[in-house]
Chain A
Amino acid sequence: MDVLLQINGFYVFMLAAVVGYHIIHKVPPLLHTPLMSATNAISAIAVVGAILVAGAGHSKVSTILGTIAVASAVTNVVGGFLITDRMLKMFKAGKREQK
């Protein structure tokens, strides 16, 4: 059962990579900097793993490592989404496009 579950992971990875490839290709170079900070915030999804490690109470060592991991991942979540929004807010269309 466990092996089957893990093989499923490869399908998920492959499909997500293909979807990612097509989505990212459509992002105009205009937005490449915000894109990078957005994907950076999203890859802070490692916070899920960090929470599971920090809260499981397995050992002192892993709790400490997990807590540091939660702190650095959340730094990226909060910082990443806020700064992406700060950038995107600045992109304004010209007068003709606003109509």
Chain B
Amino acid sequence: MSRIILIQAAYFAASVLFIFGLKAMNSPRTARRGMIMAAFGMAMAMAGAIADPHVTSYGWIVVGVAIGTALGAVIAIWTPMTHMPQRTALSHAFGALAVSLVGAAYFYDASIDLLELGLVKRIALGLEVMLGSLTVTGSLIAFAKLQEWIRGNHAIKGQNYVSVGLAASIIVLMIYTIYDPSQEWAFYLMLVLSLLFGILLVLPIGAADMPVVIALLNSYAGLGAAATGFALNNNILIIAGALDGASGLILAIIMSKAMNRPLLNVIFGRIQASTAASADDVYGGKVKSTTAEEIALMLDDASRVVIVPGYGMAVAQAQHAVRDLFVVLEKRGCRVEFAIHPVAGRMPGHMNVLLAEADIPYDRLIEMDDINPTFDTVDVSIVIGANDVVNPDARKGDSPIAGMPIIEVDRSRSVVNIKRSMSPGFAGIPNPLFANDNTVMFFADGQAGVLDIVKEIKAL
């Protein structure tokens, strides 16, 4: 009896540590301490599970823990910061795989031992396996897209009908297994269809919508863990799963708001084909190209510079070059800040992590809503590898990106765009910013281009 009490005490302590650990994430000063608390909580929860009287053999647990520790450490130590979105997608697949396998194993044992499965447990097992399975394949597809193993949007004709049909079949099979769990085939067929559904769900979604997708998969993985908690009658799983589910959902909503697109539109829809003016109409002879030397001269008498990073900065691995630019400008007495759009990059907060890696102090990373009102006093805005998030057409009603909040660089005194070519961003529309009187284009690779500018400034 006292053993049971000790185990429950460990689970309870773990829940408290998780909640206060996450609470500490509200400031970069306390976040590390919070994560140590959460990790400690996880260790207590695992100890509680190992001490459970139902656990009679430890060999396989040790094997599993050893493999997982090695794999996790390798991934954690060698993943470059630019690959954080891929790492996150992959880890959602790992978490969901665990959820789904636990559900399947539990169902299998119940069917051979004829343990009685109550109604709530049957529902929980069904949900657990469904959410787990679709998150496994969905996350793997997201990973493949972020890794650029799969390019473009692969939508079959009538894809939405196929998806709806598949979803309906999964629900029917789930109700059937809940009603009559002795029909094992229905349970396993549901598992397979859920795997298929996960693929179809993510395959048509474009790379720039990945922040929303990753956040949603995060939420599913959490809800799957919570369902496991219902199946096993274990509160710690319910609590941790609910925390994760809430977090993923909130992030998904924040991201889709930052694109001014409803969540469902990101999942089932695509941006309509462009109705905007053609690139020739917008740019026709008005785009001015410049050199690193001229940009250095512009920056020479600037007192306030704002840098707007986008996914292109991550692709070009330009964050360290940007750091050099930051240092050289600050040394000349210029105030340099970074304007971060919520959906810049491929996952929530992607740009912040890259710039923090390059030793930019975090108080210079300014959120879009805070920096936008101040652009009238900005001398030079430097846009590196961003496009749609600075497109002033978003203010016009008839644009495909109408209503999307943007970083208002066009209100600063002058704008420098560092870009390899005039190719459009994800929305596939021309950007009138590039043709503005106060805008110049610097056609270069992000990293090489910024280093050239730094060299020219030093030569002044």
Contacts and interface: CB of A to CB of B under 8 A. Distances in A.
Interface string A18-50: 011101111111111111111111111111111
Given A33-B84, A49-B232, A40 B38 contact: no
B79 A61 contact: no
B87 interface: yes
Contact of A29 (B109, B215, B352): B352
Nearest to B39: A81
A33 B68 CA distance: 22
Q: Secondary structure of the A side of the interface?
A: helix
A39 B241 CA distance: 9
Contacts of B92: 40
Contacts of A23: 19, 22-23, 25-26, 243
B340 A47 contact: no
Given A40-B92, A97-B363, A77 B57 contact: no
B76 A78 contact: yes
Interface string B96-127: 01110110111011001100001011000000
B39 A32 contact: no
A32 B349 contact: yes
Interface stretch (B43-51, B162-170, B441-449): B43-51
Interface string B25-36: 111110110011
A46 B64 contact: no
Interface in B222-255: 222, 224-226, 228-248, 250-251, 254
Which one of A9, A65, A72, A78 has the highest number of Cβ atoms from chain B below 10 Å of its Cβ?
A: A72
Given A33-B347, A56-B55, A71 B68 contact: yes
B63 A39 contact: no
B458 interface: no
Interface in A57-86: 57-59, 61-63, 65-86
A69 B97 contact: yes
Given A72-B98, A81-B39, A48 B109 contact: no
Contacts of A81: 35, 38-39, 42
A97 B361 contact: yes
Interface residues of A, number: 87
B26 A89 contact: no
A96 interface: yes
Contact of A51 (B21, B32, B46, B88): B46
A81 B35 CA distance: 7
A93 B233 CA distance: 44
B310 interface: no
Contacts of B14: 45
A55 B55 contact: yes
B193 interface: no
Interface in B188-243: 214-215, 218, 221-222, 224-226, 228-243
Interface residues of B, number: 116
A9 B432 CA distance: 55
A79 B178 CA distance: 36
A70 B64 contact: yes
B67 interface: yes
A69 B225 CA distance: 12
Nearest to B234: A48
A62 B106 contact: yes
B123 to A, nearest CB: 10
Nearest to B214: A36
29 contacts: A9-B120, A17-B243, A21-B250, A23-B19, A29-B340, A33-B349, A35-B251, A39-B243, A40-B91, A40-B92, A41-B39, A42-B42, A44-B94, A45-B45, A46-B99, A48-B236, A49-B231, A50-B64, A51-B61, A55-B52, A75-B94, A77-B68, A81-B39, A82-B76, A83-B87, A84-B35, A90-B357, A93-B362, A95-B361
Interface of B: 14, 18-19, 21-23, 25-29, 31-32, 35-36, 38-39, 42, 45-46, 48-50, 52, 54-58, 60-61, 63-65, 67-69, 71-73, 75-77, 79, 81, 84, 87-88, 91-92, 94-95, 97-99, 101-102, 104-106, 108-109, 112-113, 118, 120-121, 214-215, 218, 221-222, 224-226, 228-248, 250-251, 254, 340, 342, 347-350, 352-353, 356-357, 359, 361-365, 367
The list of the 6 closest CB pairs from A to B, nearest first, reads A74-B68, A70-B64, A78-B72, A32-B349, A79-B72, A20-B246
